[in-house]
Amino acid sequence: MSKKSLVIVESPTKAKTIKGFLAGSFKIISSMGHIIDLPKNKLGVDIERGFIPTYKVIKGREKIAQKIKKEAKDASKVFLATDPDREGEAIAWHIKNLVDVKDSKKEFLRVVFHEITKSAIKEAFSHPSSLDLRKVEAQQARRILDRIVGYFLSPFLWRKVCRGLSAGRVQSVALKFIVDREKEIQEFIPQKYYLLEAIFEREGLRFKARLVKEKNKKITLEDKEKAEEIKDLILGKEFLVSKVKKTVSLRKPQPPFITSSLQQEGFRQFKYSSSKTMLIAQRLYEGIEVKEEGLTGLITYMRTDSFHVSPLAKKQAKTFIEENYSKDYLAEKEYQFKSKGIIQAAHEAIRPTNIERVPEKIEESLSKEEFSLYSLIWKRFLACFMKEAQIENTQINLNFEDYTFLATGNRILFDGFLKIYPEKVKEEPLPDLKEGELLKCVEVKLQEKETQPPPRFNDASLVRTLEEKGIGRPSTYASIIYTLARRNYVRRQKGSFIPTDLGIKVTELLNEFFPNILDEKFTAKMEEALDYVEKGEILWVKVLEGFYPQFKENIESAEKKVKKTVELAGRICDKCGKEMVIRYSKKGKFISCSDYPRCKNAYPLTTGVKCPQCKEGELVERRNRRGQLFYGCSRFPKCRYTTSKLP
């Protein structure tokens, strides 16, 4: 009896989907992600001998490792079919090293595919390759960089702020963005101004025009008295139509989704966190049980920063548009979308694996969330091959004495790609006016406004900022945001991120003593260096050699200069009589005796609000395991009252 070939993938769902496409001569098993990594409780990197890493089977994955070794021993060939990115390449490399014993003649084949469909799997297994060691080295350099930062910086934070803290090379920069934005908001001083609108009517159509100029100079109304004077002056008066300008603009569709834009749009459209968007996309990629089709992948690989689309997918999209929307909707030529940075040309944008699989046709096979995200991906991809929308924009200047008012309007002449991918194009019709006409002002509206501070970051804006500044990579955005919330460095409020006291404290400390860690340009250069490692233009060790000496010097300097700071609570310990101080923990601030550990008296920092249930205790800030803020009674467990908002 001939031996079967072994196929190793990361997830059980992926294994199940692929099994349906391969003949019975293959056995498919899952590694459940990484099974080998640096040891958990020690550095695991020999810095003095050229940053040589020591890898171990991850605790809890021993049985999986044994199963892989056993199955590989009995297999004729081993196909490494992990994801087509650095992490996937590293997982495959570790598995090969685990199984490939000395003098073994076992054949290891790397299989790469960007969609889990029958045709893609058949093509990939017909043309296997070898491992890409450059990708492996780039992942290894990143992993060691992050390990060095975490191993030396986290204990420093334990000693200077509170135990249990941790710091990440990329997460710390993202946290700084959030902290700096919060400072801008706190320091912002709002300024009042007034918006003056004149209302006109022509042939039953009312429209508004806002004051924009005085004596042909731009005007901003900051004086209420002057605004009232102008309001009284123009009401009921006749205005001259001094200028009518009509232009037609072409709005082209946005590029197909890549990881960052999918996360941003997932938040804007559905308020999904980055992690949630990626979890849903993962399910769509790995396989959904579709009626009359079976288990199949609905989208291409969802961790990508490339706008590339395969020729076959382009042809199918164009044919679909012609057959379902007419040739008038097909773009005359393909749009060119420019990618940032160093892109893997073999990667594709995120697209449906089959454009004929219209969302509404498979809706009953999908959950509500899966349907929403799949529809978004399907529509965005198809829109890329449709004609631009034609929009007529109208600007009308209306003058009275020294004042110029501007009315703007638009209407869609041809919807083009907007037919399937609606964007915010609110049609605002204006009457057909001619220059030299006179119109009477029938109403005047005066609104008091205030300048607004910059908005807090949310999932969409933070991912966009990280991408624009070259911080992190597609596979890391969701984990960066998740980690910041889990460590209690930020909390969510109506979808936006607010830094906690702990997050601010950590950022201030790192900013003072580890400027490189929090320098966005330095971090972006490190990411770029890793890309060059993958291209084979830099040795991975050189990246580490360029980073470590300065980092080590900063650690040693900070250890000498920084003392654990304490903030007096203004209270005396009722057990020993010493000063009480405010300390930090992963759950927030609390009050503790300054003579700790000899005196362990401590209690939560109260809000000053009485517990509405027991009437004796006060409400204190607490956090659940997911880092979400809530308020509980200080007499817990005697009183178990909790609330998400202060009464």
- Per-residue pLDDT tens over the stretch 212-265: 999 999 999 999 999 999 999 999 999 999 999 999 999 999 999 999 999 999
Looking at the structure, tell me whether residues 117 and 147 fall in a common domain: no
**For residue 341, what pLDDT band results from cuts at 50, 70 and 90?**
low
Q: Does pLDDT of 23 surpass 80?
A: no
54-64 pLDDT tens trace: 999 999 999 99
Q: Which of 561, 592, 622 is the last residue of a domain?
A: 561
Looking at the structure, tell me whether residues 322 and 274 fall in a common domain: yes
Tokens standing for 148? 């060095």
Catalytic residue numbers read 301
Q: What is the CATH number of the domain that holds 35?
A: 3.40.50.140
Looking at the structure, tell me whether residues 348 and 311 fall in a common domain: yes
67-108 pLDDT tens trace: 999 999 888 899 999 999 999 999 999 999 998 866 567 889
* Rounded CA separation 195/448 (Å): 7
Q: Indicate whether 198 belongs to any domain.
A: no
pTM comes to: 0.84
523-535 pLDDT tens trace: 999 999 999 999 9
Looking at the structure, tell me whether residues 550 and 576 fall in a common domain: no
* Averaged pLDDT score across all residues of the chain: 90
Q: What residues does 45 pair with on adjacent strands? A: 53
Give yes or no for a contact between 230 and 197, defined as CB atoms under 8 angstroms apart.
Answer: no
At residue 633, φ and ψ (nearest 5 deg) are: -70, 140
Nearest to 622 by CA among 644, 591, 600: 644
The DSSP H or E segment spanning 465 is: helix 459-468
Question: Checking DSSP bridges between strand 77-80 and strand 5-9, what pairing results, if any?
Answer: parallel
Looking at the structure, tell me whether residues 100 and 13 fall in a common domain: yes
Looking at the structure, tell me whether residues 118 and 143 fall in a common domain: no
Q: What residues does 57 pair with on adjacent strands? A: 36
Q: Indicate whether 115 belongs to any domain.
A: yes
Which domain does 69 fall in, by range? 5-131
Q: Indicate whether 194 belongs to any domain.
A: no
**For residue 125, what pLDDT band results from cuts at 50, 70 and 90?**
very high
Of the candidate ranges 148-152, 209-213, 349-353, the one whose mean pLDDT is the lowest = 148-152
Total domains, the chain: 5
Looking at the structure, tell me whether residues 552 and 578 fall in a common domain: no
Q: Indicate whether 543 belongs to any domain.
A: yes
Q: Indicate whether 531 belongs to any domain.
A: yes
Q: Which of 364, 383, 402 is the last residue of a domain?
A: 383
Looking at the structure, tell me whether residues 435 and 553 fall in a common domain: no
Looking at the structure, tell me whether residues 358 and 286 fall in a common domain: yes
Across 114-130, average pLDDT? 93
* Rounded CA separation 108/97 (Å): 10
465-512 pLDDT tens trace: 999 998 988 888 999 999 998 888 998 888 899 998 889 989 998 998
Burial of 439 (0-12, 13-18, 19+ CB in 10 A): buried
Tokens standing for 6? 């072994």
Nearest to 338 by CA among 420, 254, 464: 254
| Percent of residues, the chain, with pLDDT higher than 90 | 69
Tokens standing for 343? 């892109």
403-420 pLDDT tens trace: 999 999 999 999 999 999
Q: What is the CATH number of the domain that holds 528?
A: 1.10.460.10
Work out whether the CA dihedral 252, 256, 258, 264 comes out positive or negative.
positive
Q: Does pLDDT of 389 surpass 60?
A: yes
Question: Checking DSSP bridges between strand 238-251 and strand 217-218, what pairing results, if any?
Answer: unpaired
Looking at the structure, tell me whether residues 463 and 514 fall in a common domain: yes
Tokens standing for 580? 């009480």
Q: Indicate whether 65 belongs to any domain.
A: yes
Looking at the structure, tell me whether residues 267 and 376 fall in a common domain: yes
Q: Which of 505, 529, 561 is the last residue of a domain?
A: 561
Q: What is the CB neighbour count within 10 angstroms for residue 526?
A: 21
Q: Indicate whether 466 belongs to any domain.
A: yes
CA 374 and chain centroid, separation: 18
364-376 pLDDT tens trace: 999 999 999 999 9
Looking at the structure, tell me whether residues 283 and 245 fall in a common domain: no
Q: Does pLDDT of 285 surpass 60?
A: yes
**For residue 2, what pLDDT band results from cuts at 50, 70 and 90?**
low
Q: What is the CATH number of the domain that holds 361?
A: 1.10.290.10
* Rounded CA separation 588/624 (Å): 11
Nearest to 36 by CA among 128, 111, 136: 136
Q: Indicate whether 445 belongs to any domain.
A: no
